[in-house]
Structure 1
Amino acid sequence: MVSISKLVLPILLLLIIFVAFQFKGGESGLFHDKVHMHIFNNLTNGVKLTVHCKDKDHDIGAQTLNFGESYNFVFRPGTVVESTLYFCGFRFNTEFYFFDVYDQKRDDFFVGKDCHWEVHESGPCRLNVLDKPNSIECFPWNP
């Protein structure tokens, strides 16, 4: 029978405990929780909004929304380097705009698992959930 070193056994036990805590509840603590993105058409006078979102590796696709409809997708932010960036193109009234709907450095603390945006003619507004519940922060379109 092979004897296990007195040092190896405690290390293995600690490793098993660490892994068990990381995977508790079916979600891995090694990764950020998934973010559920919700982009609502809040344009006045029934204006239709076409939204097309992507990051450097994933094209979520385009969708046309009537007033009050939403464009939704789910993703998992980066773990080691917080650099996840999702950007969208918005087309309405023959105008075209861009905006970064998820910038991990900007949004990670504010949105948690749900990121809600309302699109207005003047720009997108984020509904803050974590830091100031029920508050809205509006941003200008990207230049």
Structure 2
Amino acid sequence: MGTYNSSYVFILIVLVIVLLESKTVLGGRYHVYVINDLGKNIILYVHCKSKDDDLGKHWLKFGADFNWSFKINHFYTTLFYCDLSWGKTKGHFDIFVAGRDWGECGHENICYWRAKKDGLYRYNAKGEFDERMFKW
């Protein structure tokens, strides 16, 4: 009976590893774009980070974007957050949350975020429209 239990546990562990790996392979690389859609002459300040990476400070003119790419970790806990500001308006946003955004950014794994005067919008690939996700 001990051998049966050991074999069962081994097969279960292998299955979990295969599932985690296949999810990562299927997910591939993600590309995130933060776009200034605030209007002419309005500069958007962007500072994005993860637990492991500081992507630096960026000042975007109207229509410009800041972008980066990455792979989701094996435990699907990947998180990128950004501080955004323009004028006296500021916000701290979770720009990419693996559990929320996996599969929501379209078949190309591209997440488009647009900073507008009334909030931050993510392109909804399923409905093909910009959806307000956060208010300032």
Please tell me the TM-score bracket, short chain as reference. 0.7 to 0.9
TM-score (norm 1): 0.71
Deviations 1:97-138 (A, max 9, x none): 111110111111211410101001221101122x22x22210
1:102 aligns with 2:96: yes
Stretches of structure 2 that go unaligned for 5 or more consecutive residues are 1-17
Report the residue type matching 2:65 in the other structure: S
2:32 to 37, 54, 59: 37
1:63 matched to 2:58? The reply is yes
Question: In terms of mean alpha carbon deviation, does 44-53 or 84-93 score higher?
Answer: 44-53
Aligned residues: percent identity? 27
Q: How far apart, in 2, do the equivalents of 1:117 and 1:140 lie?
A: 11
CA distance in 1 between partners of 2:85 and 2:52 (Å): 22
Question: Which one has a bigger Cα radius of gyration?
Answer: 1
SS in 2 for 1:111: coil
CA distance in 2, matches of 1:36, 1:98: 20
TM-score by length of 2: 0.75
Task: Give the ranges of 4+ consecutive aligned residues of structure 1 lying more than 2 Å apart after TM superposition.
Answer: 28-32
Q: Encode CA deviations 1:59-91: one digit per residue, 9 max, x unaligned.
A: 011110000000111111122x21111000001
Unaligned runs of 5+ residues in structure 1 are: 1-21, 23-27
| RMSD, aligned CA | 1.9
Of the three residues 113, 116, 121, the one matched with 1:125 is 121
Q: What is the number of equivalent residue pairs in this alignment? A: 113
Give 1 or 2: higher strand fraction: 2
